[in-house]
A and B are shown apart, each in its own frame.
Chain A
Amino acid sequence: MLNQHEIMQTIRMIDQQHLDVRTITMGISLLSCAHSDIKVACDKVYDKITRSAENLVATGEAIEKEFGIPIVNKRISVTPIALVGAAADTDNYAPFAQAMDRAAKTCGVNFIGGFSALVQKGMTEADRILINSIPEALATTDIVCSSVNVGSTKAGIDMDAVALMGRTIKELAAATADRGGFGCAKLVVFCNAVEDNPFMAGAFHGVGEGERVINVGVSGPGVVYHALQSVKGQPFDVVAETVKKTAFRITRMGQLVAQEASRRLNVPFGIVDLSLAPTPAVGDSVARILEEMGLETCGIHGTTAALALLNDAVKKGGVMASSHVGGLSGAFIPVSEDEGMIAAASSGVLTLDKLEAMTCVCSVGLDMIAVPGDTTAQTISAIIADEAAIGMVNSKTTAVRIIPAPGCKVGDTVEFGGLLGSAPVMPVHAGSSADFIARGGRIPAPMQSLKN
């Protein structure tokens, strides 16, 4: 039988260490909703989403109560809208986003992702329409998230799309200027995007997926931080073992919740995403885990090595705990959503360059970073290109979610509220990358041998 110590350990993780299931995300295929009349297509989108996910929130809440585990978000991801919209005779896909927004609100979910296009090798007319629709789509909706995949290890980087995304991000910031450029917090630019990611803003339901699927994202930076406090000063072997054991427990919980949700909703179980996703709450920070390993502030020398160990140990611990692992799986480092990162960035210790280095060894990339409002579209494109290059060469997912906050300068703070937190505006390099971005074309796919 379970002993009292084990039971109380779980209770403490939930009560004091912010252990939770971050999200149950239902993926829904919208391929069947394509229609030449956009009004008909939008109605089909609304109907299919509301029909498929009508019980998602109630089921999530019931599981939450019975197991006594907080499930913070219930979300929906859909087929990239550029694929669904391609049949429609229109030059603006914003109505699709509005239909998604209405459907998601009817279902009561927190976010819906999939206003997306996959353009790593080139853009179709529909891809181009979708990207051009992003500013209006995200400015006129509340909970729709958008993503664009501009590169992959197999296809290289589509630099025309990179240039277009820089301009799109600037337009989106301007369209949501009254909210500090909030729209940009709902748009992510990927390299090597995954098709089963349950986390926002990058979730979409890939074309290789089934009709419907349940993916679960776990969390627990607070639990890992607390576990490491008990091994102060010990060698890294011990640190890695401690993280692995903790990740195992967290993931087992996620797996149980995923299976239960899948059974009750009669929707196949997809994957558990083994991610350490921080929140702005004190005690739920990835940066503080790195500091617990012996770094004075996150962002100083040694941070990349600490993050590499953490990311790897989380995966090793989690893999055995779940029957199917997928999504992004690793430690997230979103600046505005992590109390320790906010502090490190505000003090000037954590810089964009160091964050870029950190993204080489962890899941995803430059995430929730505010930069001055006068940052040019070309500079943003260049930041995207750098990040995509890291993902392309290292065969991993990387992403950029950057907010050129209108009217803000270095030292200001942009408030987004809720899980999105607050972002200190960080400096970018002053020189121009305009000629580099103006070239366009494609960066060829990298060698997969002769690795050095």
Chain B
Amino acid sequence: MKAIVTVIGKDQVGITAMVCALLAQHNINILDITQTVLQEYFTMVMLVDTAACPTSIGDMADILSKAGQEQGLSIRIQREDIFNAMHRI
């Protein structure tokens, strides 16, 4: 199943590394990444594949959100369907 991971917050060293490591730990494959820093504001969007991930998306959402909070970041994982529904006919 495909999902979208978004990371938003103040730019700092090691955000991408931290998120990627966490995803790898749970066997989540990254398919695509876009990332921008605008006025010290960091935004990263990843398309990921959770097919091999033993943890449910709901639990992953908690894990990522908690890891983000520790660094002052908003990190979430959402099923891709919600974005497709809203932006594609």
Contact = CB atoms under 8 A, between A and B. Distances in A.
Interface of A: 1-4, 6-11, 15, 62, 65-69, 249, 252-253, 255-256
Name A's interface SS. helix
Nearest to B77: A68
A68 B58 contact: no
Contacts, number: 66
Nearest to B43: A8
A253 B85 contact: yes
A69 B43 CA distance: 20
B61 A68 contact: yes
A253 B82 contact: yes
Contacts of A252: 85-86
A67 B78 contact: yes
Nearest to B74: A15
19 contacts: A1-B47, A2-B4, A2-B80, A6-B86, A6-B87, A7-B4, A7-B6, A7-B83, A8-B6, A8-B45, A10-B82, A10-B83, A11-B8, A11-B76, A65-B61, A67-B78, A252-B85, A252-B86, A256-B81
B82 A249 contact: no
A69 B82 contact: yes
Contacts of B8: 11
A155 to B, nearest CB: 40
Contact of B79 (A2, A11, A15, A66): A66
B34 interface: yes
B78 to A, nearest CB: 4
Given A249-B86, A253-B86, A67 B6 contact: no
Contacts of B77: 68
Contacts of A6: 83, 86-87
Given A10-B82, A10-B87, 18 more contacts: A4-B43, A6-B83, A7-B4, A7-B6, A7-B83, A9-B87, A11-B8, A15-B74, A62-B58, A66-B56, A66-B57, A66-B79, A68-B77, A69-B78, A249-B86, A252-B85, A253-B86, A256-B82
Contact of A65 (B43, B57, B81, B85): B57
Contacts of B81: 67, 256
A15 B74 CA distance: 10
Contacts of B34: 3-4
A4 B47 contact: no
Given A62-B58, A65-B61, A68-B82, A4 B76 contact: no
